[in-house]
Structure 1
Amino acid sequence: MTQLIQAKKGIITEQMKKAAKKEKISAEKLAEKIAEGSVVLPANKNHKKLSPYAIGAGLTTKINVNLGISEDCPNYELEIKKADLAEKLKAHAVMDLSCSGDTRPFRRNLIEHTSLMVGTVPVYDAENLGKELPELTEEDFLGMLKTHAEDGVDFVTLHAGITKNVLAHMKPADRIMPIVSRGGAVIAEWMDITGKENPFFANFDKVLDICLEYDVTLSLGDACRPGAVHDASDSMQISELIVLGELTKKARDAGVQVMIEGPGHMRIDEIAANMLLEKKLCHNAPFYVLGPLVTDVAPGYDHITSAIGGAIAAASGADFLCYVTPAEHVKLPDLSDVKEGIIASRIAAHAADLAKHVPGADNWDKEMSIARSNLDWKKMLELALDPEKPGKMREESMPRDPAVCTMCGKMCSVNRTNRIKEKIK
């Protein structure tokens, strides 16, 4: 049985107990949220090393780290190092987005290697089956999903909502960038060439059967997400979201866990409304967002544009942030890019948890503030989200008085007020 089916039956699984402990809530309360669909607990029965996390309403905001090889950068060893870095920096999931060659050996290795949740996009295997795109059958697409499920993937992105009716909105929507989703573009082109309906939409019952067998969580992909701020909140995006809401109900009724993927590129003033719309149309399913990136003009700094949007999105109801690195729109990220992306996303997630008043979220900030008030540098570095960077900065610029820093020196306001406090005592 899936986590959802067991939750509906009142069965508390080991995965629920472990995830609930991390959230500092009761397993029974978590099971209630899973049963109603506002929380998912991705946990493929074949991912033996998994340390489970729950994603959704009332919980801490989770972050995902993308990795995987491309045709031009086929270094699997480096991608494993990225997974290790993600675990070290306290991410919650990794997605293998490998899109070249035989992806299965690396995927299996990754799942055996990491305790983080693992996601994939099965349709990325479409061009590696030894067939041209028009030759692929509906069974081929379902076979990709089956293979990934067998290998132990905890959640899969399926672009099941980009139907013929949704594609009909492309021309009237007047988009600058009609489809920026790789998987969505594959499905759209296959539909255009063959004249057939989206294979995942047309065979959604078979999709659910596969997910049920392995307890794979569906991450219903936003093939029509905006890839430019100009394109956000248009008819193409919203029409797909309506379809995803319908598929959410079908999946839940079958006992399959579901979360929804969202934008994309979007102006700041549109973010909160989009979060509300997703929750309404998709029956309060957990929302997984890429960014949103709040401007299109910052290549090389898109971890920042994404963190701004991610903080607003999560504070407005998003539950799961997909990190963006400085390399977005430019190249496959290296390890330093990955680190910058993770840190930016973790800052956004924690800032949102503070705004949402997630129980216990502000304890960390209080501890840091107390350490600063006491000029306790050792404690400050221990509490830092990334201790290495501030530690190195301090070593490189040590003041004459080790109690303070080189910004203020004798002018340190904290040092002065501490002396006043001592007199008051």
Structure 2
Amino acid sequence: MSSRENFLQAAIGGREPPAVRMVARAEGISPAVLLKLVAAGRVVIMEREGRPPLGIGEGLRTKVNANVGTSADLVDPDGEVEKAIAAERYGADTVTDLSMGGPIDDIFKRIKEATSSPLTTVPIYQAVAEKGSFDSITEGEILQTIRKQVGAGASSVVVHAAITLDMLEGLKRSKRIMGVVSKGGSFTSAWMLEKGEENPFSTHFDEICGVLAERDAVLSLGNTMRSGCISDPMDAVQIAEMEMNADLAKRANDLGVQVIVEGMGGHVRPDRIPEYVALYKRRTNFRPLFVAGPLPIDIGIGYDHIAGSVGGAMAAGSGADYLCYITPSEHLALPDVDQVREGVVAFKIAAHIGDTMKYGPRLEDEMLARKRRERDWEGQFSLAIDGDRAMEIRSRRGTDGCSMCGKYCAIAVMEQHLR
């Protein structure tokens, strides 16, 4: 894999790479404006060789990520590849491979070959899976995993660098119900506590940035301390992590690395979502904000994709740039292909609502309304977020019109009487 042009350094130098023009065209934004946003760290551009680049950040459409990957208990590489294909088909902008079982390198390679979206990894997952225990992993092995995944074509990697031993001591004294719910964050924390050493990702931060800068891979700064239930408000350790991530983001940008900040995700009371988004955006100098969910209630298990899409829409409308989908299996099991589809569609809806809140109504909504007025079913299917689903429902009814109203369709009745 050859080195890619460093978009951040090019933008700071006033150069306009072809990928910037491609993203500007796709987003309907001026290339000059986009270049300034990239230079300021407010937009990142993810790219895979031979594939269209993707912009994430201020002034752009809200993007959706889908997680796939094997677990330690359920290893079906074919199924994970199928999930990645389904996620992309139904609108996921990026795919993250979280595999922790089976031939992890091969699974990533197969997902890469089967998809065209930017791919993200969480290196600590593979490091833990391959060693089987936290205390046997060396810092060198963690760094080697990052090099391997970036070299294999990861467009972005997630590291939980903003945790310190002092924060973990503070966590012991906290009154949280759920403690830590971030898996990557818990792995990193367990390594630190087992070894009695500070965070390997912050200790070797400059070296990690050097690896990413060489390939222009995007750094995603994970949030270990996010809330695991709506009864756990933002507390001192979460604020401390946010502050440290903000400083690390600036450091990474200074080293030529594009940065996304993960924050405010997990479970958040709905009335606090806009406030928390605004806080993260201000503190991180408006860098792209990635949000997992958030779930605004805890009792929606089995339907967390719906609850999460409500929280995701609120977060996107308040300024979040990038949503991580949730499936109906959240908190319960590894999702199947159908549940991946449901999660992606739910969060594409959330992203579209958020964009409507941020930027005003989208042309697609008006176009679909006109097709509905004309009873143009195929036209509606072509514009829908999940036209396949709409077509499946309609095909089961076996009538020319809508079977909900039949000959008493309100639109048809009033057209006849107002003609």
TM tier relative to shorter chain: over 0.9
Instruction: Note the C-alpha offset of 1:127.
Output: 2.4
Q: Is the Cα contact below 8 Å between 2:120 and 2:155 reproduced in 1? A: yes
Instruction: Note the C-alpha offset of 1:376.
Output: 2.1
Instruction: Note the C-alpha offset of 1:221.
Output: 0.2
- What is the letter of the counterpart of residue 98 of structure 2? L
Q: Is the Cα contact below 8 Å between 2:289 and 2:320 reproduced in 1? A: yes
Instruction: Note the C-alpha offset of 1:101.
Output: 4.0
**Structure-1 residue corresponding to 2:162:** 161
Instruction: Note the C-alpha offset of 1:28.
Output: 2.5
Matched, 1:297 2:294: no
> For structure 1, which segment, 181-190 or 406-415, has the greater mean C-alpha deviation from structure 2 after superposition?
406-415
- What is the letter of the counterpart of residue 386 of structure 2? D
> For structure 1, which segment, 119-128 or 135-144, has the greater mean C-alpha deviation from structure 2 after superposition?
135-144
3-state DSSP of counterpart to 1:288: strand
**Structure-1 residue corresponding to 2:412:** 415
Within a 5 Å distance, the mapping from 1:9-408 to structure 2 comes to: 9-43=13-47, 47-130=48-131, 132-262=133-263, 263-357=265-359, 362-399=362-399, 402=400, 404-408=401-405
Give the Cα–Cα distance (whole angstroms) in 2 for the partners of residues 165 and 416 of structure 1: 70
3-state DSSP of counterpart to 2:59: coil
Give the Cα–Cα distance (whole angstroms) in 1 for the partners of residues 126 and 388 of structure 2: 38
Deviations 1:172-214 (A, max 9, x none): 3311111111111111111112111001011111111111111
Give the Cα–Cα distance (whole angstroms) in 1 for the partners of residues 416 and 362 of structure 2: 27
3-state DSSP of counterpart to 1:278: helix
Give the Cα–Cα distance (whole angstroms) in 1 for the partners of residues 61 and 132 of structure 2: 43
TM-score by length of 1: 0.94
Instruction: Note the C-alpha offset of 1:21.
Output: 1.8
Deviating runs (4+, > 3 A) in structure 1? 128-132
Instruction: Note the C-alpha offset of 1:383.
Output: 1.7
> For structure 1, which segment, 247-256 or 367-376, has the greater mean C-alpha deviation from structure 2 after superposition?
367-376
Paired residues, what number?
A: 414
Give the Cα–Cα distance (whole angstroms) in 1 for the partners of residues 207 and 57 of structure 2: 26
Q: Is the Cα contact below 8 Å between 2:161 and 2:245 reproduced in 1? A: yes
Instruction: Note the C-alpha offset of 1:78.
Output: 1.3
Cα 1:16–1:281 shift into 2, 3 Å: same
Q: Is the Cα contact below 8 Å between 2:162 and 2:245 reproduced in 1? A: yes
Q: Is the Cα contact below 8 Å between 1:279 and 1:285 reproduced in 2? A: yes
Q: Is the Cα contact below 8 Å between 1:49 and 1:113 reproduced in 2? A: no
3-state DSSP of counterpart to 1:192: helix
Give the Cα–Cα distance (whole angstroms) in 2 for the partners of residues 173 and 131 of structure 1: 29
Deviations 1:33-92 (A, max 9, x none): 11111100122xxx4243211000110011011101112221111111112112211221
Cα 1:4–1:389 shift into 2, 3 Å: same
Give the Cα–Cα distance (whole angstroms) in 2 for the partners of residues 394 and 114 of structure 1: 29
Q: Is the Cα contact below 8 Å between 2:323 and 2:347 reproduced in 1? A: yes
- What is the letter of the counterpart of residue 389 of structure 1? R
> For structure 1, which segment, 336-345 or 376-385, has the greater mean C-alpha deviation from structure 2 after superposition?
376-385
Instruction: Note the C-alpha offset of 1:95.
Output: 0.1
Q: Is the Cα contact below 8 Å between 1:102 and 1:128 reproduced in 2? A: no
Q: Is the Cα contact below 8 Å between 1:50 and 1:114 reproduced in 2? A: no
Give the Cα–Cα distance (whole angstroms) in 2 for the partners of residues 169 and 295 of structure 1: 26
Give the Cα–Cα distance (whole angstroms) in 1 for the partners of residues 389 and 254 of structure 2: 48
Give the Cα–Cα distance (whole angstroms) in 2 for the partners of residues 231 and 100 of structure 1: 32
Give the Cα–Cα distance (whole angstroms) in 2 for the partners of residues 131 and 385 of structure 1: 41
**Structure-1 residue corresponding to 2:7:** 3
- What is the letter of the counterpart of residue 368 of structure 1? L
Deviations 1:319-348 (A, max 9, x none): 011111001111111111011001100000
Q: Is the Cα contact below 8 Å between 1:364 and 1:383 reproduced in 2? A: yes
TM-score by length of 2: 0.95
Give the Cα–Cα distance (whole angstroms) in 2 for the partners of residues 408 and 124 of structure 1: 52
Instruction: Note the C-alpha offset of 1:131.
Output: 6.5
Give the Cα–Cα distance (whole angstroms) in 1 for the partners of residues 390 and 246 of structure 2: 44
3-state DSSP of counterpart to 1:259: strand
Give the Cα–Cα distance (whole angstroms) in 2 for the partners of residues 108 and 213 of structure 1: 20
Cα 1:172–1:55 shift into 2, 3 Å: same
Give the Cα–Cα distance (whole angstroms) in 2 for the partners of residues 278 and 98 of structure 1: 29
- What is the letter of the counterpart of residue 20 of structure 2? M
Give the Cα–Cα distance (whole angstroms) in 2 for the partners of residues 81 and 314 of structure 1: 28
Instruction: Note the C-alpha offset of 1:237.
Output: 1.5
Unaligned runs of 5+ in 2: none
Give the Cα–Cα distance (whole angstroms) in 2 for the partners of residues 291 and 189 of structure 1: 25
